[in-house]
A and B are shown apart, each in its own frame.
Chain A
Amino acid sequence: MSDQLYQERIVALAKAKSGAGKLENPTRTVRRDNPLCGDRVILDVRLDDEGRIAEIGHQVRGCLLCQASASALSAVAVGRDAAGIAELRHDAERALGREPGETHEPFDAFAPVAAHKARQDCVLLPLEALKDALS
């Protein structure tokens, strides 16, 4: 067996389920599907007056990587605006080896996915959804 992908940190992020669930009064709700694998993310966000994320809730119907990514994202999204979320996206891209540079918590946990090109969209789907919610 060569079990490189599902390392403890990714599994722990998925199990933590940070931000899992719906929000009561979301400012925006967006849904993103990956037609290839059927993963689906529904994101609720509540924004403050300056367009920063005050609260975030996600419902993921998808694989462990997608769940872990939504959980990681929710853990660090509050207080960020669109530019701040774009910075997280770069962090995820760096973890996946698609951009040069150093990655940070929590997206550095996804470094094992760099070797699994077919699964990278699973990690990026929640970030795509959040970008939609903020645009």
Chain B
Amino acid sequence: MSFDVAAIRGQFPILSEIIDGLPVHYLDNGASAQTPLAVMDAVRHYETTGRANVLRGVHRLAERATESYENARAQVATFLGVPTMEVVFTGGCTAAINLVAFSYGSLLKPGDRILLSELEHHSNIVPWQLLRSRAGIELDMLPVTTDGRIDLSALPRLLTPKTKLVSLAHVSNVTGALLDVRTVVESAKAVGAKVMLDGAQRAPHGPLDLPSLGIDFYAVAGHKAYGPNGIGALWGRPELMEAMPPFMGGGSMIGRVTLAETTWAPSPRRFEAGTPPIGPAIGLGAACAWMETLDWAGAHDHEMALVQRLMDGLQEIDGTQLFGPASLQNRYPVVSFMLDGVHPHDVAQTLDSFGVAVRAGHHCAQPLMDRFDLDGTTRVSMAPYNDNGDIDALLAGVAHAAKTLR
């Protein structure tokens, strides 16, 4: 097997830029991935040959726009392994989670419980805290193991008949740990709780087969999955979505409006009030179609080889410490580490001067940082287009920070 990294890199123009005299070693994919020409071309094609509003016009541009938008929905659905009309376009992953927190949340009663974990991104904590203040529900938190995985041995203790929803990161944005979905679903179903996965960090690593997971909701961020900003997707089990009231009110989501009463359109329209982000949705569709063309078995092996190279290299630098699973099993290529005596921001700033982009800090997971009493970590998050050169540049930068900053 040989995975052709160079061919993939060639599809991402930004990777061959020289910026302020430095090459682009982009290892901040967990924050936002880069976008391939196929995505830019699809958006440009819409903007130059079919730009109009969707669903509202009879002229040919409106028809083209509607067709492209619905085609994008089909592309996202194929990527997720679900029927087209079960996919709702949202403003992002955060928006998708807030939609569920509001609409599914409005069906809950005081005293009902929602189970989260201590490693969640703030976007999978704060919407539930808002719901708690609105609806009087209670939140429970699964703890995290020392190697940065959600500790599922606490499930029996924390799942109760009052638990209505378990909402967890499919892949951690800090440690790269992959959730054992089967165990979560089995335990949750046993008490009648629904399961939502925050797929922001999983979707960028290849097509999914959501029905086989047995879950109820799945949220995706477009910009982390090689698509544009301002777009995301939510999949929800149809019988749940049909029972949920709208999140926002406006055009396109109605059955019939009178001043006395309005009836709702069926999902997905019910949850897509107003003019949607049409270009970004088309871009996300193209990103999903682009991902379908990749050899993901090869890509995954390639990414894990990079993770191994990174871990081996870090070990040779005095005072580095990994935060997250040490194993390559059940993980994705997100690696957090600390360098003794050097703050993560100073590591990241030094890396920037080597042309290496990483993220440093709390990664919007402050409860996790508090739990392990960390100032933050330096996070390396990879995509299939990363190569050995990126990792070696990073290691050189970390070694330099270790030598000069402490």
Q: How far is the CB of B23 from chain A (nearest CB, A)?
A: 11
Would you give the 0/1 interface string for A89-122, flagging 1 where the beta carbon is closer than 8 Å to chain B? 0000000000000000000000000001001001
B21 interfacial contact with A, CB 8 Å: yes
Would you give the 0/1 interface string for A19-60, flagging 1 where the beta carbon is closer than 8 Å to chain B? 000000000000000000110000000000000000000000
Of residues 336 through 366 on chain B, the ones whose CB sits less than 8 Å from some CB of chain A are 342-346, 349-350, 353-354, 361-362, 366
Which residues of chain B have C-beta atoms less than 8 A from A86's C-beta? none
Complex partner residue of A38 from B20, B346, B362, CB under 8 angstroms: B362
B55 interfacial contact with A, CB 8 Å: no
A2 interfacial contact with B, CB 8 Å: yes
How far, in whole Å, are A32 and B280 apart by their CA atoms in the complex? 39
Q: Is the beta-carbon distance between A11 and B404 smaller than 8 angstroms?
A: yes
Q: How far is the CB of A112 from chain B (nearest CB, A)?
A: 11
How far, in whole Å, are A4 and B354 apart by their CA atoms in the complex? 11
Q: Is the beta-carbon distance between B404 and A6 smaller than 8 angstroms?
A: yes
Q: Is the beta-carbon distance between A5 and B361 smaller than 8 angstroms?
A: no
How far, in whole Å, are A80 and B22 apart by their CA atoms in the complex? 44
Q: Is the beta-carbon distance between A64 and B376 smaller than 8 angstroms?
A: no
Which residues of chain B have C-beta atoms less than 8 A from A116's C-beta? 349
Q: Is the beta-carbon distance between A5 and B349 smaller than 8 angstroms?
A: yes
Which residues of chain A have C-beta atoms less than 8 A from B405's C-beta? 6, 11, 64
Closest Cβ neighbor of A66 among chain B residues: B343
Interface of A is mostly: loop
Which residues of chain B have C-beta atoms less than 8 A from A5's C-beta? 349, 353
How far, in whole Å, are A5 and B348 apart by their CA atoms in the complex? 12
Which residues of chain A have C-beta atoms less than 8 A from B44's C-beta? none
How far, in whole Å, are A38 and B364 apart by their CA atoms in the complex? 10
B15 interfacial contact with A, CB 8 Å: no
Q: Is the beta-carbon distance between B353 and A2 smaller than 8 angstroms?
A: yes
A134 interfacial contact with B, CB 8 Å: no
What band does the interface of chain A fall in when counting residues whose beta carbon is under 8 Å from B?
A: 10 to 19
B64 interfacial contact with A, CB 8 Å: no
Which residues of chain A have C-beta atoms less than 8 A from B344's C-beta? 63
Complex partner residue of B343 from A1, A2, A64, CB under 8 angstroms: A64
How far, in whole Å, are A5 and B397 apart by their CA atoms in the complex? 14
Q: Is the beta-carbon distance between B349 and A119 smaller than 8 angstroms?
A: yes
Could you say which of A2, A4, A122 has the most chain B C-beta atoms within 10 Å of its C-beta?
A2
Q: How far is the CB of B350 from chain A (nearest CB, A)?
A: 7
Which residues of chain B have C-beta atoms less than 8 A from A1's C-beta? 353-354, 397, 400
B4 interfacial contact with A, CB 8 Å: no
Could you say which of A3, A5, A65 has the most chain B C-beta atoms within 10 Å of its C-beta?
A3
Q: How far is the CB of A103 from chain B (nearest CB, A)?
A: 22
Say whether, besides A6-B405, A38-B362, A63 and B21 are in contact (CB < 8 Å). no
Say whether, besides A2-B22, A6-B405, A37 and B354 are in contact (CB < 8 Å). no
Complex partner residue of B353 from A4, A62, A63, A65, CB under 8 angstroms: A4
List residues of chain A with CB under 8 Å of any chain B CB: 1-6, 11, 37-38, 61-65, 116, 119, 122
Q: Can you list 13 contacts pairing A with B, beta carbon distance less than 8 Å?
A: A1-B353, A3-B404, A6-B404, A11-B405, A37-B345, A37-B361, A38-B362, A38-B366, A38-B369, A63-B345, A63-B346, A64-B343, A119-B345
